Amino acid sequence: MRLSRLVATAAFSIALTAIPVPSARAASMHALPHHARQGLTIRDGRFYLNGKPFQIISGEMHYERIPRAYWKARLKMAKAMGLNTIATYVFWNIHEPYPGKYNFSGNADLARFIRDAQQEGLKVLLRAGPYSCAEWEFGGFPAWLMKNPQMRNALRSDDPAFMQPVQQWIMRLGKEVAPLQIGNGGPIIAVQIENEYGDFGASQAYMNRLHRIFIMAGFTQSLLYTVNPSHALKNGHGQIPGVYAGVNFAPGNAKAAFGELEAIRPGQPLFATEFWTGWFNHWGMPYTTKPIGPQISDLNYILRHGNSVNLYMFTGGTNFGMMSGASWMNHRYEPDITSYDYGAPLDEAGHPTPSYYQFRSVIAAWLGHPLPPVPAPPPAESIPTFPLTQAASLWNGLPKPIHSRNPHPMSWYGQNYGFILYRTTLHHSVHGMLMLPDLNDYAMVYVNGKLAGALNRTCNQNQILLHSSASNNRIDVLVENDGRINSTRMMRSASKGVDGTVTIADKPIYGWDVYTMPMAPDTIADPPAMPREAHFTSYSSLAHAISSPAFYRGTFSVHKIDNQVPDTFLDIHDLGKGAVWINGRPIGRYWNIGPQDTLYVPGPWLHAGKNQIVVFDLYAHHRMPRLRGFNNPILNGPATPACAMPTKPESAATRHHAAH
């Protein structure tokens, strides 16, 4: 999923790896031998599952974006809406956070998610990558890839620098989930290779190499396919034996999109591989929605013409921790908000929306039989206002520095996400423009501990005027990674921090201490991690000395509802810019420019009784911060363009919030 999907149609190819056919058209025009009728096959312009006609009615749900404790509840909601299949991306960076170190436990237990889907009577479309997009950090690629300087040109190509880690990863993924394919008795009916590659490149060698790797990894008992926009078909990467094509489109385009597909690939089953039920959102930009009318009209059209569909998204979920991605829009970097609610039929917290019931009505009418009753959604509860009574200045809890002649990106120091601090001391007065080369993404600049101002990549800012007549001057540059770009060739600019020779008044500054501060686990899987750098004391004893940035800590209480700890939505509109942890769990980023004014806090991650919260804020709080929880989210609050914000955010109170 990416911004370029505003183009109405897309196509994808399926290599029928278990069925040796010369072309997809041949597969559709000739009956298959008996031994090839198991699994998902193509014949006479239709899908067949184990020899019987099968219409895919699927919805997208990403296990990484939903707490494991809620997987089954979300899947039951899918079944109750009439879906027979679930599609999910596999985000490589969740499963291999460091080279050769794999994680398939906790919230990363992919095999468990697939088995849960099977227990609910759902088939699975496994969108295996290695590239996903999905508005996820770096499109699902692990950040450590970029530590190799060759990767800037090797990414998504058949260059060995990229293909070696890809092959190692896909082989490991195959060990985990290839046994769960339909030919082995599992629910996986199709496995996707790559994603929308034609928007990025045109290497047939790359796609063929990926195809061979998937076969080597054991993905031979289900269909293999790869999604690609129709305008990129000329790149020719889908010319693998057994080619199959489908379409991705926005509401209101079903007839035209399928008509274009039929003209390009006659005789094929028509499959809306992504039918967009909503859209994603960026910090500082108005909240985006899609009208329900065209969605219902198109869904009726798709089903009544016997075509297949995958709703993107059925339920969006949350970019927990620091895993939200970013877009390159109008030649500008735009980071995504933490919520991935997406305006989907099932909202971020698993509650059915009006569109859920309208989709359900359409599907039930088409199927002609009653659907399972809609389960009760998880409870949500308000939390009274509570203070953050403890604080810790970042300056007083820094880790051990790394000495460097010039600043380098996070990846050079083995860091993937979070914040990084570059510090140098000049033994002379300072008068001139500080220039930070290749700044990504948001920097707070200090002279002798006093804030000089903020620089924002979105606004193409990388310089700031410094002035100090002191004979010794400590220069601090604190940089936040706001999320790597997840699509287009701008993905190759994935370095975070500062890279190169820094100058003041055109004179190079050498000799830096570098402090890495990931401040969060590199995955959302268990076990969670707390920021270890902070040394807390009472807020009142530090209030006179607190200048941004700082940690704040407090506690709040939650009571069970019907023997279940409820969800809540943390009100963040009085905070500045930073991140939140609750009971050690990284909940996500926040920014007071909107439109997201609450962070989703899942009940399974809370305790009945006392809970601990830690906030790291780049902006100063000259009064004790106070937070609260709502029983409903606020995702469409006022939005202030990032470049309209003050360049010197002295405090968190920089935006009037009309909703409160």
CA distances from 152 to 112, 149, 399, 468 (A): 35, 6, 30, 39
Instruction: Phi first, then psi: give them for residue 509, nearest 5 degrees.
Output: -115, 115
Q: Supply the residues annotated as catalytic.
A: 196, 274
Q: Which two tokens stand for residue 619?
A: 């902006």
Place of tokens 């949350």: 318
H helix runs in 497-564, sequence order: 539-542
Q: Where are the beta strands (DSSP E) in 72-196?
A: 85-89, 123-129, 188-193
- Cα 297 to Cα 195: distance, rounded to the nearest angstrom: 27
Give the CA distances from residue 50 to residues 54, 122, 188, 189, 488, in Å, rounded to whole numbers and listed in that order. Answer: 9, 15, 13, 10, 38
Written as six digits, the tokens of 499 are 């890279």
Indicate the helix (H) or strand (E) that contains 613. strand 609-617
Say how far apart CA 534 and CA 522 lie, in whole Å. 19
Q: Which of 592, 613, 609 is nearest to 601 (CA)?
A: 613
Give the tokens for residue 249. Answer: 């489109």
- In Å, the largest CA–CA distance within the chain is 86
Rg of the chain, C-alpha, whole Å? 25
Pseudo-torsion of CA 115, 84, 136, 298, nearest 10°? 180
Q: 211 near 237, Cβ under 8 Å?
A: no
- Closest by CA to 223, choosing from 214, 231, 232, is 214
* Neighbouring residues of 374: CB distance < 8 A, sequence distance ≥ 6: 77, 80, 81, 352, 357, 360
Placement of tokens 């039918």 in the chain: 275
Token pair of 511, please? 């000799």
Length of the chain: 660
Return the half-sphere exposure (C-beta side, CA atoms, 13 A cut-off) of residue 78: 33
């289900």: which residue's tokens?
A: 222
Which of 110, 118, 238, 126 has the alpha carbon at shortest distance from 190? 126
Three-state DSSP at 192 gives strand
The SS3 call for residue 36 is helix
Q: Residue 274: name the closest of 1, 608, 615 by CA.
A: 1
The contacts of residue 193 (CB under 8 Å, 6+ apart) are 15, 128, 207, 210, 211, 214, 224, 225, 226
Handedness of CA 230, 232, 234, 238 (dihedral sign): negative
Distance CA 356, CA 557 (A): 32
Query: Measuring CA to CA, which residue among 169, 28, 15, 9 is closest to residue 99?
Result: 169
Q: Which two tokens stand for residue 146?
A: 């970029």
Q: Give dist(CA 16, CA 181) in Å, integer.
A: 14
